[in-house]
Amino acid sequence: MLADRTRLHIALQKSGRLSDLSRDLLRDAGFRIQRSKNSLTARVENFPAELMFVRDDDIPTFVSDGVCEFGIVGQNVLEEFALGADEQRYEVLAELGFGGCSLKIAAPETLAYDGPKSLTGERIATSYPRIVRRYLAEQGIDAKIVKMNGAVELAPRLQIANFVCDLVSTGATLEANGLRPVETVLDSQAVLIRTTKMLDDTRSKLSAGLLTRVDGVLTTKE
Ligand code: PRT
Ligand code: ZN
């Protein structure tokens, strides 16, 4: 499918923690989203834009490639993507004030911890290997990163790693797994991103229009 050059394409998380809040933001900005329960796309009725519902992990790629001109994604996902990309082909336009969480290193409650040096020679299970590698380099710590795609909190019990580095909001999941946070590696929230690919006149004007509307919502929320 060739992207329609007469409209904007906005990549949103299909189903997950950011889905409803992303749609709410667009609705608050005055965009009427056509109902589509299971479809992967939805038209905006009163503005030439189409929403693309995808996995959050794919959003930075789509926007960087210009397949979607805009996207809404967590800074955690964006940062992990950026650290693996040769060049940055998107720009962050706004912090959206939802989807707040922190990427934290956590340890079993029974394990002694006395600052980052306690991580030396340890294994850390995470879905964010690049961000954790950068953190360790900044701290001058040599530790082994074990990449897991989910259920990271199980790693200590499975004896895969003593430490984990995972997203935390309330902390209930860590606690339920007998873990306690020991370091904050990254604070995150949802952001609006735009491709840095050159847009033709039509989409460039639409892009400015979309931004004005979103800014309006963010200003009233401040
Ligand atoms: O299917 P897809 O790949 O699109 O979704 P996903 O499963 O990768 O992501 P999803 O929907 O879980 O989260 C989307 C984004 O929401 C994340 O990338 C973050 O930017 C943001 N976010 C905000 C969170 C949380 N809060 C959060 N609490 N993402 C995950 N969590 C996890 C946390 O790791 C724990 O396992 O939710 C669980 C509950 O957290 P506590 O601390 O409240 O117990
Ligand atoms: Zn994901």
Evaluate: CB of 80 within 6 angstroms of ligand 1.
no
Q: What mean pLDDT comes out for the span 114-119? A: 97
Residue 133 pLDDT > 60, yes or no?
A: yes
Mean pLDDT of 46-63: 97
pLDDT at 54 over 80: yes
Q: Are 41 and 11 in contact (CB under 8 A)?
A: no
> Within the chain, which residue ranges are assigned CATH 3.40.190.10?
8-99+189-221, 101-188
Instruction: Look at residue 39 in the predicted model and tell me its pLDDT.
Output: 87
List all residues 6 or more positions away from 71 whose beta carbon is below 8 Å from its beta carbon.
10, 11, 12, 59, 60, 62, 63, 90, 192, 193
Residue 170 has pLDDT above 90, yes or no: yes
CA proximity to 48, closest of 4, 109, 14, 93 = 4
The answer to whether 175 touches 117, Cβ cutoff 8 Å, is: no
- What does the alpha-carbon distance between residue 175 and residue 170 come to, in Å, rounded to a whole number? 10
Residues facing 164 on adjacent strands: 106, 125
76 Cα: distance to centroid of ligand 1 (angstroms)? 10
Nearest CA to ligand 1 atom 18: 74
Give 105 Cα–ligand 2 centroid separation in angstroms.
19
pLDDT value, residue 3: 67
Any idea which fold 101-188 has? Answer: D-Maltodextrin-Binding Protein; domain 2 (3.40.190)
Q: How does pLDDT run across 74-112, given as a tens digit for each residue?
A: 999 999 999 999 999 999 999 999 999 999 999 999 999
Residue 5 has pLDDT above 90, yes or no: no
Q: CA-CA distance, 53 to 129, in Å (whole number)?
A: 26
Of 128, 13, 127, 129, residue with least CA distance to 72: 13
| pLDDT given at position 82 | 98
CB of 60 shorter than 6 A to ligand 1:
no
Does pLDDT of 158 surpass 60? yes
- Asked whether residue 71 carries a pLDDT value surpassing 80, the answer given is yes
Q: Ligand 1: does its nearest atom lie under 6 Å from the Cβ of 168? A: yes
CATH classification (class only), 8-99+189-221: alpha beta
CA distance 140 to 135: 9
Percent of the chain at pLDDT above 70? 98
- Quickly state the pLDDT bin for 2 (edges 50, 70, 90): low
Give the distance (Å) from ligand 1 centre to CA of residue 87: 27
Average pLDDT over residues 161-171: 98
Q: What is the pTM of this model?
A: 0.97
For residue 166, the ligand 1 atom closest to its alpha carbon is: 34
17 or 4, which is more confident: 17
Rounded to 5°, angle at Cα 148 from 183 and 180: 30
pLDDT tens digits, one per residue of 22-45:
999 999 999 999 987 678 999 999
Q: How far does the centroid of ligand 1 lie from the alpha carbon of residue 201, in Å?
A: 37
